[in-house]
Amino acid sequence: MTDYRPVDCGLHSEFELAVLRRQPVRISWQSKDGQAHIEVLTPVDLLTRQHEEYLVLADENRQQHALRLDHILKMENL
């Protein structure tokens, strides 16, 4: 089993729109170890793995990172 908590439909729609725009966002999240992170990344996709949803983002070097949706604390369009 997983501890994933599905996000609100409205919030999920915001993530979908961010992927469609592919504009950089300032995003903050909490990692599994409780560390807080803030970075500017570009949303590129949404995916589901083992019943958990992720936002895939690219950094300035085009390296991709997958953030679990329920770990995202805030996303701000730039």
**What average pLDDT does range 59-64 have in this prediction?**
96
Domains belonging to the chain, first-starting first, are 9-77 (2.30.30.100)
By the 10 Å C-beta count (0-12 exposed, 13-18 middle, 19+ buried), 73 is classed as exposed
Q: Measuring CA to CA, which residue among 78, 77, 76, 67 is closest to residue 32? A: 67
pLDDT in tens, 22-50: 999 999 999 989 999 999 999 999 999 99
**What average pLDDT does range 1-20 have in this prediction?**
93
What is the pTM (predicted TM-score) of this model? 0.92
Element (H, E) at 77: strand 72-77
What is the rounded CA–CA span in Å between residue 25 and residue 11?
15
